[in-house]
Amino acid sequence: MSETEQGPKEATVQPLLRVAALQQRIGRRVVLKDVSFEVFPGERFGIFGLAGSGKTALIHILAGVDRFTSGSVEILGHDIGKTEKFKQYTGLVTQERSLFQDLTAGENLDFIAALKNAGREAIPPLVERLALEDYLKTPVSRLEAGVYQRLSLACALLNEPRLLLADELITGFDLDSRRLILDELAGYLERGGTCVWSFSSMEFAGLMSRVGWLENGELTVYSPQAVWEKWNELERSSARRSGEAHA
Amino acid sequence: MLRQSLAIMGREVRYLWRERGLRHILLLGSLLGILLFWGIYSAQVLKEIPTAVVDLDRTKQSRELVDGIRNAEYLKIVAVPESFQAMEEMIKEGRAVVGVVIPEDYGKKVSLHRQVRVLMVVDGSNIIYATNASTAILTVTRTIGTRAGIATLLARGIPLSQAEDAYRGVNIEDEPWFNPTLNYAYFLVLALALNIWQQCCTLTACMNVIGETGLNSWRQIRAAGVSRLQLFFSKSLVHIIVFMITVLPVYLLAFEVFKLPLRCGFPALLLFTLVFAVAVHGIGTLMSSFARSAVNSSRFGMIVALPSFVLSGYTWPVEAMPRWLQPLVKVLPQTWFFQGINYFTFNNAGWGMMTHYMLIMAATAVCCYALAALFISRS
Amino acid sequence: MRQVYNIACYEVAHIFKDFILFLMVFLVPLGYAALFGAVYVAGTLTDIPLGIVDLDDSRLSHEIVTAFRNSPRFHIVETIGTYSRLEEGMKNGTVRAGIVIPENFEKKTELHQKTKIMTCYDASNLIWGYNIRKYALEVLNQFNAGHTAEYLAGLGMTKREIRDILDTVSCTTEIWYNPTLSYANFLFMGLVMMILHQLGLLSAGLTITREKEHNSWIQYLAAPVPGWKIFLGKALPYFIAGFFNYGLLLWFAARFVHVKIWGSLPLILLLGLLYDVIITSFGFFLSTQAPNSLQVTRYLMLLSVPLFLISGYTWPGTHIPAALNALARALPYTWMAEGFRLVTLKELGPGEVRITLVVMGVMAAASLLLALAFARRRNSPVEQGLTVNGGPAYPGKN
């Protein structure tokens, strides 16, 4: 744990999210074993892991969607195993499509705003910033991946969450959408938001303030540079193994 | 060709097994059905209809009358309430189905040969009870009337032989054929279990086409160049074999354990059932060929399979249905199957009739498969 | 309230977009009711095909044949003349009952020798069987009364005297509640209650599984919306539609199938309300538990027949084993079907059906609790090895 980075050092700052000894078992398989970390206000906390490492499982637990086996998760001081109150402070962007398929984009914004008890007035600025005006009447099932993700983000931000949980926020979609999403995220952080962002492509590591590396159910926290080093080391050892195999 | 078919069939068996919902339904559905229905109808005959007798008279004559009722077949005196109101209450609460009220002056009037009225009440809200109760009462009232009438005639000085002649009338002997004990279990248990069985079969058959074309693996099949005819023929064969295997324990329980009547011979019954299984499979396949999803396909199938028993005329006869409905129900293979089950297991109605019924069911099957083929080829 | 209202609106919008769901909520109940109504609209069996084998061919035997001919219950099939034809006809269903008048019937009757008419009937279908037995007895009782009257007239008695003698002990038989013994009164409302039960459960039972299949259930779980609001919003449209259907089918039954629906209107409404609460909330509960719509659809459909028969609505509970009866008592359909019959057919008041009301009230409260206490978290998917259609997905084209 020598490379482990601490967050902002001031002792006065309380963590926004505190995960301690989190365990998740699915059948006999241990998906998360003893995961602990803290996220402080204003951070852009990355969770890196390759496919199947448990990123989605972790994000869904943090969002209060899935049960977990043991451990504790606190968001803004609320124990998420005991209360639902924290949900008014969180927003979730899922990896799989999870908007209401039989509604249009506009109807989705409207409906999810109602679900989140957020005012309608939050909708127009988000629509404008994420350039969704032209799509409001399109059924979400017909939206392209990039636009869909912009809409997902808009829906997640409707209640101006203190903590945004984003699962694979950016994947291989068009560059305009990518730009719009990154801008919106920057704006959100500027306005005082905090973000936990899971990703599986190293290119985003540089955008994070810290990165939790999820592997074999364990999470280790690194600085962005340290993550790059670890990644390069892994690549080298993989190449070595492959060379030995071919020799 | 054969190897391909065998591979498809092997996969289908695995599919049916691994789809836990279908596995439970197919293995347990009709078995649980027949056990439950046997349990429900285990009393078999509806004797001992609860009867309440109000004897306001309490004389020798009235007690004779009560004895007459006690000895009547089917009636069982369960209470002797004090008043009409008490009897009424019992019938309202369903504790008695038949009520008899013998008036206060019954004995006196009978000995004076004056007219007297006995009230008999039947609760008509459950007809199975009510029909049997009315029949029992008809027999009792006739005996009572005759006895009282003869006594009156004698009192008027008419000789006994003449008095008896007057009341001799015509006697009948009733003979229930095919089910001589009027056994309700014989009548319903097998048919109801087969009704559950055909619903289970329909649900399985409803997965036939959409269960394949609705999955991404459909592309593998298309890419492999297996002909649709071969694919669906092999799958269907597995389904029908499974249907026949699942009906066997039902028949075994019905005929060997519960001893339900079987007059037409087991092989003939199996053949008849096979033709029906094909017809039901045809309907399911048709539904699965045009439905957009497995759920919709199952719904369409059930729209046919669910009401088919009521419509089949197995209980309420087709002849008593409105004229316009009759041709409609005769399109359903279930109508022919359930009617046939009745005719062949109880009466052994003969090969001529059985082949006629099987031809009609086979015709439905052919129509359904042809339509399904049309939908598949267009998809 | 805004959340509940929005969820309900979304649900209604969905009902109107999903054509099959729309049919299921608004048209299929009436469709099934109309179909079953048509089956039972005749109410009683008439024109029962009857074969007569008259081996005597005498004045007396002709009189008996006439008595049957005049009964509206029977329709005499003229082609049956011999016993073997009768046997054949009974086997293939061209006749359902037969009368055999033996040879020398008249002569033997006059000589007071023992002789009997044989009536046979097809008991393989007991609806035929029971009814024919009763009808035949009615016809012959009437015939015999006529015979006695004629005999007494022959002795020189006046009509009045004859009537007095015949009625010495007259039994007035009253059939209460359903005087014509109409099958429509007997069976139809039981089927209607089953239709409401099954379609109500099914449509409410798909409301959450659908969200699970579309993955949008996550949106509900991640949003700060309390469980009771999700339940209210999602169940309200089905509750209202269910009550509308209850009224509609009752009207249909009374108007077109001529079912006797008397008794206290407030009680009928109260029963319907409780039944509707149970169905909708239990349907919602099922939906939170079930993995996908396919399994809900299948299992629910298969339950219709067993639920109907175990309830004791047709074959009376007094003749069903205690264990099965206990099971039946735990099911709302049993209470509703019986309660409705007590109120509408027997016209009982609230005091007399209080047990039914209390039990249904308890069931309504219990199912509401079940529905409200649904888990706001998903269970982590259990690894089940190779299973098909066990998760939120099933075959379908998108």
Query: Is any Cβ of chain C less than 8 angstroms from the Cβ of A115?
Result: yes
Query: Is any Cβ of chain B less than 8 angstroms from the Cβ of C176?
Result: yes
**DSSP designation for A205:** G
* A246 assigned to some structural domain: no
Please state, in angstroms and rounded to a whole number, the distance separating the CA atoms of residues C313 and C318: 11
Query: Is any Cβ of chain B less than 8 angstroms from the Cβ of C178?
Result: yes
Query: Is any Cβ of chain C less than 8 angstroms from the Cβ of A25?
Result: yes
The answer to whether chain A touches chain C by having 3 or more C-beta pairs less than 8 angstroms apart is: yes
Query: Is any Cβ of chain C less than 8 angstroms from the Cβ of B354?
Result: no
Work out the average pLDDT over C365-386. Answer: 81
- Which is higher by pLDDT, C112 or C203? C203
Mapped onto helix, strand or coil, the DSSP state of residue B37 is helix
Query: Could you give the angle at the alpha carbon of B325 between the alpha carbons of B297 and B362, nearest 5°?
Result: 55
- Quick check: A247 pLDDT over 70? no
Contact between B149 and C341 using a beta-carbon 8 Å cutoff:
no
> What does the pLDDT read at residue C174?
86
Q: Measured between CB atoms, which of C155, C390, C396 is closest to B210?
A: C396
Query: Is any Cβ of chain C less than 8 angstroms from the Cβ of B266?
Result: no
Q: Measured between CB atoms, which of A65, A88, A102 is closest to C224?
A: A88
Largest CA distance in chain A: 65
Interface test with A, best of C219, C231, C293, C382 (most A CBs within 10 A): C219
Q: What's the CATH number where A151 sits?
A: 3.40.50.300
For residue C203, list chain B residues with Cβ-Cβ distance below 8 A. Answer: none
Q: How many domains does chain A have?
A: 1
- Quick check: C384 pLDDT over 80? no
* A37 assigned to some structural domain: yes
Helix orientation angle between B184-205 and B20-40, rounded to the nearest 10 degrees: 170
Dump pLDDT digits (tens) for C36-56.
999 998 888 888 999 999 999
Cβ atoms of C170 and B117 within 8 Å: the answer is yes
**Pairing relationship of beta strands C97-101 and C117-122 according to DSSP bridges:** antiparallel
Residue ranges of C 378-397 with Cβ closer than 8 A to chain A = 378-384
Cβ atoms of C227 and C170 within 8 Å: the answer is no
Among C90-94, C133-137, C258-262, C384-388, the least confident range? C384-388
Contact between B21 and C295 using a beta-carbon 8 Å cutoff:
yes
Mapped onto helix, strand or coil, the DSSP state of residue A196 is strand
* A143 assigned to some structural domain: yes
Give the torsion through C-alpha atoms of A128, A133, A134, A135, to 10 deg. 110
Contact between B293 and C129 using a beta-carbon 8 Å cutoff:
no
Query: Is any Cβ of chain C less than 8 angstroms from the Cβ of A85?
Result: yes
Domain that holds residue A223: 17-53+64-238
Interface test with B, best of C41, C169, C318 (most B CBs within 10 A): C169
For residue C117, list chain B residues with Cβ-Cβ distance below 8 A. Answer: 170-173
Q: What is the mean pLDDT of chain C?
A: 90
ipTM score for this prediction: 0.89
Work out the average pLDDT over C315-324. Answer: 89
- Residue C257: count of CB within 10 angstroms of its CB: 23
* A131 assigned to some structural domain: yes
Work out the average pLDDT over C245-256. Answer: 96
- To the nearest whole Å, the CA of C316 is away from the closest chain B CA by 8
Contact between C321 and B175 using a beta-carbon 8 Å cutoff:
no
Contact between B18 and C388 using a beta-carbon 8 Å cutoff:
yes
For residue C226, list chain A residues with Cβ-Cβ distance below 8 A. Answer: 84
Which residue, chain included where needed, has tokens 């209401």?
Answer: A100
- To the nearest whole Å, the CA of C330 is away from the closest chain B CA by 16
Contact between A115 and C14 using a beta-carbon 8 Å cutoff:
no
* A2 assigned to some structural domain: no
Size of interface A-C (CB pairs under 8 A): 99
Query: Is any Cβ of chain B less than 8 angstroms from the Cβ of C36?
Result: yes
Query: Could you give the angle at the alpha carbon of B356 between the alpha carbons of B352 and B358, nearest 5°?
Result: 115
Please state, in angstroms and rounded to a whole number, the distance separating the CA atoms of residues C261 and C356: 18
* A32 assigned to some structural domain: yes
Cβ atoms of B321 and C39 within 8 Å: the answer is yes
For residue C314, list chain B residues with Cβ-Cβ distance below 8 A. Answer: 126, 128
Q: How confident is the model at residue C169 (pLDDT cuts 50, 70, 90)?
A: confident
Query: Is any Cβ of chain B less than 8 angstroms from the Cβ of C325?
Result: no
* A1 assigned to some structural domain: no
Q: Measured between CB atoms, which of A25, A88, A94 is closest to C218?
A: A94
Contact between A112 and C219 using a beta-carbon 8 Å cutoff:
yes
> What does the pLDDT read at residue C381?
65
Please state, in angstroms and rounded to a whole number, the distance separating the CA atoms of residues B210 and C294: 13
For residue C124, list chain B residues with Cβ-Cβ distance below 8 A. Answer: 177-179, 186-187, 342-343, 346-347
Contact between A159 and C219 using a beta-carbon 8 Å cutoff:
no
**DSSP designation for A30:** E
Nearest-CA residue of chain B relative to C203?
A: B299
List Cα–Cα distances, B333 to A217, B255, C303, C305, in angstroms. Answer: 58, 23, 22, 19
Highest mean pLDDT: which range of A26-30, A76-80, C289-293: A76-80
> What does the pLDDT read at residue A3?
42
Contact between B39 and C324 using a beta-carbon 8 Å cutoff:
yes
Report the share of chain C in percent with pLDDT over 90: 57
Among A150-159, B165-174, C272-281, the least confident range? B165-174
> What does the pLDDT read at residue A44?
94
Work out the average pLDDT over C340-358. Answer: 93
Please state, in angstroms and rounded to a whole number, the distance separating the CA atoms of residues C235 and C227: 12
| Token duo for residue A92 | 């979730």
- To the nearest whole Å, the CA of A7 is away from the closest chain C CA by 27
> What does the pLDDT read at residue A4?
45
Interface test with C, best of A24, A84, A85, A142 (most C CBs within 10 A): A84
Residue C27 burial by Cβ neighbours in a 10 Å radius (0-12, 13-18, 19+): exposed
Query: Is any Cβ of chain C less than 8 angstroms from the Cβ of A94?
Result: yes
> What does the pLDDT read at residue C383?
57
Q: Which chains touch A (3 or more CB pairs under 8 A)?
A: C
Indicate the pTM of the whole model: 0.90
Contact between C120 and B127 using a beta-carbon 8 Å cutoff:
no
For residue A25, list chain C residues with Cβ-Cβ distance below 8 A. Answer: 380
β-pair partners for C396: B293
Please list the rounded mean pLDDT of every run of 10 residues in chain B (379 residues). 88 89 90 93 86 92 88 88 92 89 89 85 88 87 84 86 81 82 90 96 94 88 87 95 96 94 92 97 96 92 92 89 92 95 88 93 97 90
The DSSP line for C165-179 is HHTTEEEEEEEESST
Q: Which chains touch B (3 or more CB pairs under 8 A)?
A: C
For residue B76, list chain C residues with Cβ-Cβ distance below 8 A. Answer: none
- Residue A116: count of CB within 10 angstroms of its CB: 26
Cβ atoms of C62 and C105 within 8 Å: the answer is no
Cβ atoms of C147 and B170 within 8 Å: the answer is yes
Please state, in angstroms and rounded to a whole number, the distance separating the CA atoms of residues B3 and B104: 88
Work out the average pLDDT over A46-74. Answer: 92
Contact between C124 and B347 using a beta-carbon 8 Å cutoff:
yes
> What does the pLDDT read at residue A5?
46
What radius of gyration do chain A's Cα atoms show? 19
Query: Is any Cβ of chain A less than 8 angstroms from the Cβ of C375?
Result: yes
Comparing C-alpha atoms, which of C336, C92, C23, C325 is closest to residue C191? C336
Task: Tell me the domains of chain B and their CATH numbers.
Answer: 2-42+183-378 (no CATH), 49-168 (3.40.1710.10)
The DSSP line for C322-349 is HHHHHHHHTSHHHHHHHHHHHHHTS---
> What does the pLDDT read at residue A2?
38
Interface test with B, best of C294, C353, C356 (most B CBs within 10 A): C294
- Residue B303: count of CB within 10 angstroms of its CB: 18
For residue C112, list chain B residues with Cβ-Cβ distance below 8 A. Answer: 165, 168
Fold of C48-166: abc type-2 transporter like fold (3.40.1710)
Cβ atoms of B134 and C173 within 8 Å: the answer is yes
Contact between C173 and B122 using a beta-carbon 8 Å cutoff:
yes
Domain parsing of chain C, residue ranges: 2-41+182-372, 48-166
Contact between A26 and C222 using a beta-carbon 8 Å cutoff:
no
Contact between C378 and A66 using a beta-carbon 8 Å cutoff:
yes
- To the nearest whole Å, the CA of C135 is away from the closest chain A CA by 60
For residue C375, list chain A residues with Cβ-Cβ distance below 8 A. Answer: 67
- Quick check: C237 pLDDT over 50? yes
